[in-house]
Amino acid sequence: MTQFSKFLVSIIFLLIGCNFYAQQEVVVSLDVVNIQTVKLNNYSKGYKILTLKDSVILNNSQSFSSLLRYNSPIYIKEYGSGGTSSASFRGTSASNTAVIWNGININSINNGQTGFNSLNVSLFDEINIRSGGGSIEFGSGAVGGTIHLNDELHFGNYVKNQLVSSVGSFGTYHNLYKFSFGSESTAIKLGLAYNKSKNDYKWLGYDVKNENGAYHNTDFSFSIAQKLSNFSKISFYTSKYDGNREFSGQLPNPSAAKEKYKDLSFKNLIDFNFKKNESSHTVKFAFLKDEYQYFANKNNANFNFGKSKRYILNYDFNYKISSNSSIESFSEMESVFGKTDQIKEKNRKQFSQSFILNQQIENFGAFNAKVRKDFNSEYPMPLVFAIGAEIKALKNSFLRFNGSKNYRVPSFNDLFWPSLGNKNLIPESSIQGELGLGFKTNHLKIDVAAFLIDTKDKIVWKPGADPERPGVWTPVNIDEVENKGLEFLISYKKNIAKHIVNFNANYSYTISKDKITNQLLPYIPKHLLNGTVGYSYQKISAFYQHLFNGEIFTTTDNLDDYSVPYFNVGNLGVNYNLLKTKATQLNIGIKINNLFNKPYQVLPGRPMPNRNINLNINYKF
């Protein structure tokens, strides 16, 4: 590891020593208001970014969990279809995947994670998935990778409406409406979504069905941007999600399940940008409010709850040193208030300062160097850094590499849970590196990379961790984990006359080891493969998506008796274009999930849905 980072450091110095005279690769256009994607690409040299466009998002409208399961290298641990769901990136834990909404980290302050079934993503225009650490400008938790949810806003002259409605098996309905408007100086976007499902599918091979699995949620989003002058603009984003889910049961008696979960998430962001000549200033203020209620029995009015409020003030200064290099400073102040039925309201204040250096080298490559230091009211914070570079080795191919130090702060539960929380916790931290090779033409994109993540002081709840309190579960900075593996991505697209064929696949091989016991971590598949083959001809298009999920262990001693076997599952979709003019487009589609009607379980005792059908209509006008 140290040798590897030394190698990276020497490469970086080598690059700095070169002469720079090329144009900045990505020109930030003032017409695009939300420049998250542009920035992400600029600041992710040497990293892999996978972008899911709205068409892919709509083809996987069942849930965020299934969108990621079939289209990304992320392993999704889901307690039955629609249940509690968390993501593991490169074998790291659920709290090591940061979810970023329009540039703001939205992981829960109570448990440090994002619930992937308590988030509706169908209104987002684009989702970027960035593998690996080094997203230090997004703070805590960006260890395994980051998932960026972006609302796109741009100026211009247009009015667009989109209506998507689908009806499926087990009483499942997904509906959304999107409106966007643009003029030379104003851009507006509005979105509304409503989803509901009885989710009462029969459990294949058993006489019972999925009980207590129903859900419904509404999602509202609105964003607006106004050009103030040729140099400045202001924008505002708001989103409100209101979800209501039941947690389904497990074998052999699903009727024992009675739990219900309600959550409310309200996010707001105001962004003022001034850009003139070489300098750009951005001031952001975000207010995020989250609330959940957990009902042990849905028929009983009593519940547990958690609430949090976050205020974030961010000043971002970008200076173009030359036409091919820039430096950026991020200063952020955050104040977090959190409470649960167990924890009295606590406040955590944090200040952080980051610098990012961005450099292009013509006909050779680009690199970033980042450094961040946090100051926190609760615990000492490590200085973190990230470096990444991409070198165009030969025509169409490139070499990329990165190294970073990342951290994850203890959650409010870890720190403050009455009598059990541990106020002496420090952030867990990891050092990681990645080396990748890529090939890119207009038709074909291949990326293969090897990664290594070394985590120490990992926060885990362990029984008897405190020798004074045998048998009592308390959180401690104890585990040391090493994750290593390979990630492979291929994407191919070809037009032959009127036939269009495309193919995308992700494969990941992950070994996550507890360095103390030398056993594999539970709930991490060694092999994970997903892919989609698409074909379209004139008005008809079809796609087939497949997932191979390798065996997982559920015990820390890797017992075969308790492992969950590997499974294969495939979905088929067919779309037909009924109407297509310049202004309007009408598509109807059918999607058959679990095409081969194979029984499979992501977690033991929780069968996933059998074959089911979804009919959808997509009208753009």
Which residues contact other proteins by CB under 8 A? 79, 249-253, 255-256, 258, 296-297, 300, 302-303, 418-420, 462-463, 469-472, 522, 554-557, 559-562, 603-606
Taken in order 231, 191, 140, 26, the sign of the CA dihedral is negative
Closer Cβ to other proteins, 342 or 396, answer by number: 342
Find the shortest distance in angstroms from Cβ 533 to other proteins: 32
Q: Tell the smallest beta-carbon distance from residue 66 to other proteins (Å).
A: 19
Cα(41)–Cα(46) distance, integer angstroms: 10
Q: Return the amino acid letter for 317.
A: F
Q: How far is the CB of 582 from other proteins (least distance, A)?
A: 52
Q: Which residue matches tokens 């030969």?
A: 394
Amino acid at the residue 551: E
Query: Between residues 380 and 418, which has the closer beta carbon with respect to other proteins?
Result: 418
**Residue 71 or 212: which CB sits closer to other proteins?**
212
Beta carbon of residue 203, minimum distance to other proteins (angstroms, whole number): 13
Report yes or no: 235 and 153 within 8 Å, Cβ to Cβ. yes
Type of residue at 439: F
Per-residue b or e along 406-421, where b marks 16 or more CB atoms closer than 10 Å to that residue's CB = bbbbbbbbbbbbeebb
To the nearest whole angstrom, how small is the minimum distance from the Cβ of residue 96 to other proteins?
A: 19
Nearer to other proteins, 556 or 568 (CB): 556
Supply the DSSP string of 154-214, one letter for each residue.
B-SSEEEEEEEEEEETTTEEEEEEEEEEE-SSEEEEEEEEEEEE----B-TTSS-B--S--
Task: Mark out the alpha helices in 211-336 (DSSP H runs).
Answer: none
Name which of 159 and 559 has its Cβ closer to other proteins. Answer: 559
Question: Which of 21/206 has CB closer to other proteins?
Answer: 206
Q: In the bound complex, what is the minimum distance in angstroms from residue 249's beta carbon to other proteins?
A: 8
Q: Nearest distance from residue 250's CB to other proteins, in Å?
A: 6
Question: What's the closest the beta carbon of residue 109 comes to other proteins, in angstroms?
Answer: 22
Q: Of 420 and 572, which CB lies nearer to other proteins in the complex structure?
A: 420
- Residue 354 burial by Cβ neighbours in a 10 Å radius (0-12, 13-18, 19+): buried
Helix (H) or strand (E) holding 315, with range, is strand 304-322
Closer to other proteins by Cβ: residue 314 or 512 = 512
Of the two residues 370 and 606, which places its CB atom closer to other proteins in the complex? 606
Task: State the minimum distance, in angstroms, from the CB of residue 500 to other proteins.
Answer: 42
Q: Left (φ > 0), alpha (ψ -120 to 50) or beta: where does 325 sit?
A: beta
Residue 491 neighbours by CB under 8 Å, 6+ apart: 444, 445, 446, 502, 503, 504, 505
As measured in angstroms, the least distance from the Cβ of 510 to other proteins is 19
User: What is residue 65's three-state secondary structure?
Assistant: helix
Closer CB to other proteins, 79 or 274, in the complex: 79
Angstrom distance (rounded) from CA 86 to CA 112:
11
**Gap between the Cα atoms of 596 and 600, Å rounded:** 11
User: How many residues would you count in the chain?
Assistant: 621
Q: State which residue, 195 or 248, has the beta carbon closest to other proteins.
A: 248
Closest CA to 305 of 335, 261, 346: 261
Rg (CA), the chain: 24
In whole angstroms, the minimum distance from the beta carbon of 546 to other proteins comes to 25
